[in-house]
């Protein structure tokens, strides 16, 4: 008797429901939801761009990880354009929007909520890489073909091939099987096999070399001679990690597919973190607490702790009293990842570990649940764009300013960087410490990038030998470098000497402008220095450089402004204590916060409570609602500290003149 074959989707699909247009004019969204109006498609009507996963499922909605999510889809959208249950009760089968749909966090709750609300197809001008892959994994169809809209409205059955055209062979099969779990069942049953890689030896960049080294060929055989952009394969991960926001959903998927007694394969290379919601109780509103959301959020950590104990997984824990042991991204760089490795994590900023010369990227819950079992992850070999940094940056300029310049590049703003690797290189990087380099790789995802990476060098050797006591030769064994004639989708040269202190205006990290170009002074209510991006050791050096000078001048945080400084890990806090920074911070009037993601995800002190609040922040993204309802400007640690003293956004030069003179003298 033969086993029953795994069912595939039908060859043709008919969409019975309504079409919801997410328009720039939110009053038109209200008319569709509240009055039941069906808009006609108008190619000239501006559609909403850059709809982030924070808007699709705000942080507090992610405390759910079941069909309840469908009730709350889009409730975080700008101007409160969507209310609870409206999409689910509106009978919408298709949702249409503009550029960069699903930017931001890698949370799979976003497409899951859309599907749970009855949405079967998402159409957008461009679709972000992680969001698109998560949609494929759960069986939500996506397209960039606006010609489908009228065909659907006419009642036409759309061939499935319309949604697989242009996909790599593995992604095509996943769509045909209705999701990753079904596909993997068919794969393990021998019903479908990824095509063998046939790419011959060719010049490769560092990411291509890492992928080739980790390519799964067959049981017991890993590695191929070469890969090229567009090749589809499964690659074996060296490190897999998740945090409390996502672990419970991944566990639920894992055990639903494999049984309650399912075991994680290779738990010694799996890690978990309680780092996102550690301080949620300090900022959650009473009305949300009355709904039981704090208990539900705390329950995520309890579920994660139980799962890691059951599976023998290393848990970086934490408590509300003393904070997290570490933010996952800081810990992966400090304690875990190595050059040449492949690292996956359930967070879009997993790419931060690329600073060590490893291929690190974010994945969704379904991808992680599968990887716990198979140890591998599907990869379509990405194109790479190379940024060559030359010259020397000014004393008042940091890596954050450099990254805001890169993100404001037309190439990135037009969405050309979506799904591409950002490789950073050049002599200008040679004297940067690891922490400053890590800001570049961390924020690569803000361009919609696959990941960021920097070739490892002796700075990496010194860092890992010092931080972990590793043998330098062991570290060097993992080194890989791009071939001189490797191919790139684009190459840009950036003269660091030309960069000036920057801010990204509210709404998108790609809104970068020089501070000197702001049309009028921007008064602030809060300044936040923290998160994985702004809570590193080098960031503490920068806050201290400004605040020390301010204290010497007899100045402190401006009246009416609150300055929050939050450490990325307990090790970073200890670093600040040993250097006398904590005393400086306190004398300047800063409020110190133990490690956690905190305000960056609207889950800790520093998050705004009103739409009128203006914050200058060293975090990595400022999408609407990301850190509360207020307006968030992104800037360097220098600018954050200087603005807190001034009371409005300023360049930090007056606090750093002595530092610049010291550097010149040195």
| pLDDT single digits (tens) 263-317 | 999 999 999 999 999 999 898 889 889 989 899 889 999 999 999 999 999 999 9
Q: Model's pTM, two decimal places?
A: 0.89
Contacts of 616 (CB under 8 A, 6+ apart): 503, 524, 526, 527, 528, 633, 635, 639, 640, 643, 644, 649
The candidate with the shortest Cα–Cα distance to 355, out of 276, 270, 467, 269, is 467
Query: CA-CA distances (angstroms) from residue 177 to 152, 367, 466, 502?
Result: 22, 15, 48, 47
Residue 131: the pLDDT is 96
Q: Examine the pLDDT at 9 and tell me if it is beyond 80.
A: yes
* Better-predicted residue by pLDDT, 196 or 581: 581
Residue 93: the pLDDT is 98
The candidate with the shortest Cα–Cα distance to 644, out of 665, 666, 614, 619, is 614
Spacing of C-alpha 138 from chain mean position: 19
Residue 181: the pLDDT is 86
**C-alpha angle 65-136-198 in degrees, rounded to nearest 5:** 135
Percentage of the residues of the chain whose pLDDT score is greater than 70 = 98
Determine which helix (DSSP H) or strand (DSSP E) holds 422, and give its type and residue range: strand 421-425
Mean pLDDT score, 41-50: 96
Q: Which pair of tokens denotes residue 494? A: 């950036």
Q: Examine the pLDDT at 665 and tell me if it is beyond 60.
A: no
Mean pLDDT score, 224-247: 96
Are the beta carbons of 189 and 3 closer than 8 angstroms? Answer: yes
> Mean pLDDT across the chain, nearest whole number?
94
Query: Can you spell out the DSSP letters for 498-561?
Result: G---EEE-TT-TT-EEEGGG-SS--B-SEEEE-HHHHSSHHHHHHHHHHHHHHHHTT--SPTT-
Could you tell me which residues are beta bridge partners of residue 503?
A: 513
Mean pLDDT score, 409-431: 95
Region(s) of the chain under CATH 3.40.1060.10: 382-498
Of the options 3.40.1060.10, 3.40.1160.10, 3.90.1200.10, 2.40.50.100, the CATH number for the domain spanning 382-498: 3.40.1060.10
The candidate with the shortest Cα–Cα distance to 571, out of 343, 271, 335, is 335
Percentage of the residues of the chain whose pLDDT score is greater than 90 = 87
Q: Which pair of tokens denotes residue 213? A: 């080294």
Region(s) of the chain under CATH 3.20.19: 12-177
* Better-predicted residue by pLDDT, 462 or 218: 462
Region(s) of the chain under CATH 3.30.499.10: 504-665
State the CB neighbour count (10 A cutoff) for residue 258: 15
Q: Is 170 helix (H, G, I), strand (E, B) or coil?
A: helix
Mean pLDDT score, 563-570: 97
| pLDDT single digits (tens) 483-513 | 999 999 999 999 999 999 999 999 999 999 9
Residue 257: the pLDDT is 83
Of the options 3.30.70, 3.20.19, 3.30.1910, 2.60.40, the CATH number for the domain spanning 12-177: 3.20.19
The candidate with the shortest Cα–Cα distance to 162, out of 176, 181, 178, 179, is 176
Terminal-residue alpha carbon distance, the chain: 80
Are the beta carbons of 618 and 529 closer than 8 angstroms? Answer: yes
Query: Can you spell out the DSSP letters for 234-293?
Result: EEE-SEEEEETTTHHHHHHHHHHHH-TT---S-GGGEEEE--SSTTHHHH--HHHHHTTH
Residue 666: the pLDDT is 41
The candidate with the shortest Cα–Cα distance to 357, out of 235, 207, 484, is 207
Q: How does residue 661 score in pLDDT terms, banded at 50, 70 and 90? A: very low
Residue 3: the pLDDT is 60
| pLDDT single digits (tens) 120-155 | 999 999 999 999 999 999 999 999 999 999 999 999
Q: Examine the pLDDT at 664 and tell me if it is beyond 80.
A: no
| pLDDT single digits (tens) 319-365 | 888 899 999 999 999 999 999 999 999 999 999 999 999 999 999 99
Residue 188: the pLDDT is 80
Q: Which pair of tokens denotes residue 503? A: 């801010």
Residue 183: the pLDDT is 92
Q: How does residue 658 score in pLDDT terms, banded at 50, 70 and 90? A: low
Contacts of 275 (CB under 8 A, 6+ apart): 243, 244, 316, 318, 324, 325, 326, 327, 328, 595, 596, 597
Mean pLDDT score, 518-531: 96
Residue 105: the pLDDT is 84
Determine which helix (DSSP H) or strand (DSSP E) holds 468, and give its type and residue range: helix 458-468
Residue 321: the pLDDT is 82
Cα 467 to Cα 404: distance, rounded to the nearest angstrom: 29
The arrangement of secondary structure in 504-665, i.e. its CATH architecture, is 2-Layer Sandwich (3.30)
Q: How does residue 240 score in pLDDT terms, banded at 50, 70 and 90? A: very high
Cα 598 to Cα 438: distance, rounded to the nearest angstrom: 19
Query: CA-CA distances (angstroms) from residue 118 to 91, 162, 259, 501, 527?
Result: 7, 20, 27, 46, 41
């Amino acid at each position: 008797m033969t086993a029953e074959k795994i069912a595939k989707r039908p060859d043709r699909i008919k969409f019975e429901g309504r079409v919801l247009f997410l328009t720039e004019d939110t009053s038109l969204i209200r008319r569709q939801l509240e009055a039941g109006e069906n808009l006609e498609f108008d190619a000239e009507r501006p559609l909403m761009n850059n709809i982030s996963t924070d808007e699709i499922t705000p942080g507090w909605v992610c405390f759910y990880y079941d069909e309840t999510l469908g009730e709350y889809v889009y409730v975080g959208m700008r101007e409160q354009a969507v209310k609870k249950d409206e999409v689910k009760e509106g009978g919408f089968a298709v949702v249409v929007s503009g550029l960069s749909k699903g930017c931001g966090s890698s949370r799979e709750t976003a497409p899951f909520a859309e599907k749970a609300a009855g949405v079967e197809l998402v159409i957008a001008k461009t679709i972000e890489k992680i969001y698109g892959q998560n949609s494929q994994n759960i069986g939500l169809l996506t397209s960039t073909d606006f010609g489908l809209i009228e065909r659907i409205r006419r009642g036409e059955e759309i061939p499935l091939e319309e949604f697989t055209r242009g996909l790599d062979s593995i992604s095509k099969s996943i769509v045909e099987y209705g999701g990753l779990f079904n596909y993997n069942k068919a794969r393990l049953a021998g019903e479908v096999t990824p095509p063998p890689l046939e790419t011959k030896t060719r010049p490769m960049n560092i990411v291509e070399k890492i992928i080739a080294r980790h390519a799964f060929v067959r049981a017991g055989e890993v590695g191929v001679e070469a890969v090229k952009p567009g090749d589809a394969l499964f690659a074996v991960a060296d490190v897999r990690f998740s945090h409390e926001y996502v672990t419970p959903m991944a566990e639920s998927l894992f055990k639903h597919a494999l049984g309650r007694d399912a075991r994680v394969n290779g738990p010694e290379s799996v890690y978990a973190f309680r780092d996102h919601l550690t301080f949620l109780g300090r900022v959650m509103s009473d009305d949300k607490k009355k709904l039981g959301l704090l208990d539900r959020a705390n329950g995520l950590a309890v579920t994660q702790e139980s799962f890691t104990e059951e599976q023998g997984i290393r848990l970086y824990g934490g408590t509300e009293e003393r904070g997290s042991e570490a933010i996952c991204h800081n810990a992966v760089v400090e304690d875990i990842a190595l050059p040449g490795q492949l690292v996956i994590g359930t967070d879009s900023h997993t790419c931060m570990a690329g600073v060590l010369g490893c291929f690190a990227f974010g994945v969704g819950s379904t991808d992680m649940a599968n990887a716990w079992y198979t140890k591998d992850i599907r990869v379509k070999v990405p194109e790479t764009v190379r940024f060559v940094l030359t010259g020397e940056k000014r004393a008042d300029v940091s890596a954050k300013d450099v990254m805001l310049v890169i993100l404001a590049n037309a190439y990135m703003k037009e969405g050309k960087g979506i799904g591409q690797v950002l490789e950073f290189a050049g002599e200008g990087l040679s004297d940067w410490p690891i922490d400053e380099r890590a800001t570049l790789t961390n924020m690569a995802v803000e361009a919609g990038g696959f990941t960021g990476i920097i070739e490892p060098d002796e700075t990496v050797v010194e860092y890992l030998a010092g931080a972990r006591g590793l043998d330098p030769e062991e570290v060097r064994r993992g080194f890989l470098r791009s071939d001189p004639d490797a191919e790139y989708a684009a190459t840009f040269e950036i003269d660091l000497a030309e960069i000036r202190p920057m801010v990204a205006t509210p709404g998108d990290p790609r809104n970068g402008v020089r501070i000197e170009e702001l049309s009028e002074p921007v008064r602030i209510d809060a300044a936040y220095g923290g998160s994985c991006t702004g809570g590193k050791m080098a960031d503490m050096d920068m806050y201290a450089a400004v605040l020390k000078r301010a204290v010497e001048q007899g100045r402190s945080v401006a009246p009416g402004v609150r300055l929050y400084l939050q450490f990325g890990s307990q090790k970073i806090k200890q670093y600040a204590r040993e250097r006398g920074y904590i005393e400086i911070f306190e004398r300047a009037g800063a409020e110190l916060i133990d490690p956690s993601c905190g305000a960056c995800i609207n889950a800790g002190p520093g998050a705004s409570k009103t739409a009128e609040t203006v914050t200058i922040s060293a975090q990595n993204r400022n999408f609407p609602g990301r850190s509360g309802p207020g307006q968030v400007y992104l800037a360097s640690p220098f600018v954050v500290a200087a603005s807190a003293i001034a009371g409005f956004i300023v360049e930090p030069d007056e606090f750093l003149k002595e530092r610049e003179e010291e550097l010149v003298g040195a």
